[in-house]
């Protein structure tokens, strides 16, 4: 058998609970990829997508137990081979996580693509210092999107508000706690976009984008360009009848965090210069009309009399 661990009952002979949970996990079902785009389609198009795209493309990239613990999965038809000869490896984030998340998250975290390395990485932290086994293996619940997963890592798990050493940091966090994500201020700078690998769209280069969160319109946050354009599924006969139901920019937890950035040093970077914020001029051409809802113009800071 080419991928023995595709049969989860094989690993489940010794690890029954893990195998049962993993069968419902997003890493195994990849259902999150389907549910992320399906709202753009009519009911008939969704059926075509499930048969011609999801099962033959997205589902082919799911991870079985062995893909993380023995051998790298074939990404884009390319496999990097065995992790440690034929030995089972409990964890090795630099290989097991980076194999699949090496397009943007891992090189973003390590600074390998030319950006700024995350401060946590520089202090020796790796993926499993924040993420848990329940996230990877699943907790037995069939989540439809990753945002539904319970107990996902949050910055405040370690950085409790109100315990800042500096008064300016405490005040800044208090003022922005309800209207800005941590990433909006603490992302070190440019990060990769999905378009850098998918679609070949030259106008979407590594960049830094801030705008309204499509999931919480009260919050501004870092946004990442999603590579679904109007003709993405045209070869499969899918026109995406409801293309404008979803934006092309989604809030994204950027993995290049720094304690001090130009936005933490100077409020005018956002409130006066509005540097990095989406504008009508910087939106992708021909993109979803709902992107307009993500444009946010910060208010100037009132000058005390």
Asked if residue 81 and residue 44 are part of one domain, the reply reads yes
pLDDT at 202: 47
Tell whether 2 is covered by a domain: no
Q: Are 53 and 24 in contact (CB under 8 A)?
A: no
Residue 24 lies in a domain: yes
- Per-residue pLDDT of the chain in tens (305 residues, 90 and over written 9): 677 888 899 999 999 999 999 999 999 999 998 998 999 999 999 999 999 999 887 777 778 899 889 988 776 666 778 888 888 998 888 888 888 888 788 988 999 877 789 999 999 999 999 999 999 999 999 999 999 998 899 999 999 988 998 998 999 999 999 899 999 999 999 888 876 555 544 444 678 999 999 999 999 999 998 878 888 899 999 999 999 999 999 999 999 999 999 999 999 999 999 999 999 998 888 889 999 999 999 988 887 64
Give domain status of residue 81, yes or no. yes
Predicted local distance difference test score (pLDDT) of residue 305: 44
In a domain, 4, yes or no: no
Task: Give the distance between the most distant pair of CA atoms in the chain.
Answer: 76
The pLDDT value recorded for residue 248 is 92
Residues 6 or more apart whose Cβ sits within 8 Å of residue 282: 209
Please tell me the distance from the alpha carbon of residue 117 to that of residue 159, in angstroms, as a whole number: 19
- The answer to whether 209 and 222 are in contact (CB under 8 A) is yes
Domain extent at residue 159: 155-299
Asked if 114 and 179 sit in the same domain, the reply is no
Q: Are residues 201 and 230 in the same domain?
A: yes
* CA 9 vs CA 6, 19, 134, 234: distances in Å: 9, 7, 19, 38
Domain stop point among 153, 188, 203: 153
In a shared domain, residues 169 and 142: no
- 304 in a structural domain: no
Distance CA 163, CA 131 (A): 23
* Residues 225 and 269 occupy one common structural domain: yes
- Does 131 share its domain with 241? no
Number of separate domains in the chain: 2
Q: Quick check: is 6 in a domain?
A: no
Considering 153, 176, 191, which residue would you say is the last residue of a domain? Answer: 153
Check if the beta carbon of residue 73 is closer than 8 Å to that of residue 100: yes
Domain annotation covers residue 253: yes
Do 159 and 145 lie in one domain? The reply is: no
Q: Same domain for 149 and 162?
A: no
pLDDT at res. 287: 87
Q: Which of 129, 153, 177 is at the close of a domain?
A: 153
Residue 242 burial (C-beta neighbours within 10 Å; 0-12, 13-18, 19+)? middle
Query: Do 175 and 290 share a domain, yes or no?
Result: yes
Residue 111 domain-assigned (yes or no): yes
Residues 214 and 138 in one domain: no
Task: Mark whether 49 and 73 lie in a shared domain.
Answer: yes
Is 181 found in the same domain as 55? Answer: no
- Rounded Cα distance between 6 and 195, Å, is 30
- What are the Cα distances from residue 219, in Å, to 211, 216, 228, 265? 8, 6, 24, 20
Phi and psi torsions of 242, nearest 5°: -115, 40
E-strand stretches of the chain = 210-212, 220-225, 249-251
């Amino acid at each position: 058998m080419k991928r023995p661990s595709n049969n989860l009952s094989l690993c489940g002979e010794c690890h029954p609970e893990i195998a049962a949970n993993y069968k419902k996990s997003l890493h195994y079902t990849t259902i999150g990829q389907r549910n992320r785009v399906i709202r753009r389609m009519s009911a008939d198009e969704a059926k075509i997508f499930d048969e011609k795209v999801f099962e033959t493309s997205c589902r082919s990239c799911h991870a079985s137990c062995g893909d993380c613990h023995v051998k790298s999965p074939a990404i884009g038809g390319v496999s990097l081979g065995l992790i440690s000869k034929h030995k089972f490896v409990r964890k090795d984030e630099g290989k097991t996580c980076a194999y699949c998340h090496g397009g943007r998250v891992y090189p973003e975290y390590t600074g390998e693509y030319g950006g700024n390395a995350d401060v946590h990485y520089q202090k020796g932290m790796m993926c499993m210092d924040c993420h848990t086994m329940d996230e990877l293996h699943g907790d037995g619940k069939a989540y439809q999107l990753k945002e539904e997963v319970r107990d996902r890592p949050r910055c405040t798990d370690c950085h409790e508000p109100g315990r800042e050493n500096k008064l300016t940091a405490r005040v800044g966090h208090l003022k922005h706690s309800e209207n800005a994500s941590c990433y909006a201020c603490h992302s070190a700078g440019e990060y990769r976009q999905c378009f850098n690998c998918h679609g070949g769209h030259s106008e979407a280069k590594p960049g830094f984008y801030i705008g309204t969160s499509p999931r919480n319109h009260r919050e501004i946050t870092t946004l990442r360009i999603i590579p679904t354009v109007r003709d993405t599924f045209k070869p499969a006969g899918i026109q995406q009848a409801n293309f404008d139901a979803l934006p092309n920019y989604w809030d994204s937890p950027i993995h290049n965090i720094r304690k001090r950035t130009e936005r933490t040093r100077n409020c005018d970077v956002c409130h006066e210069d509005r540097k990095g914020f989406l504008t009508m001029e910087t939106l992708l051409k021909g993109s979803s009309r709902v992107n307009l809802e993500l444009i946010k113009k910060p208010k100037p800071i009132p000058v005390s009399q």
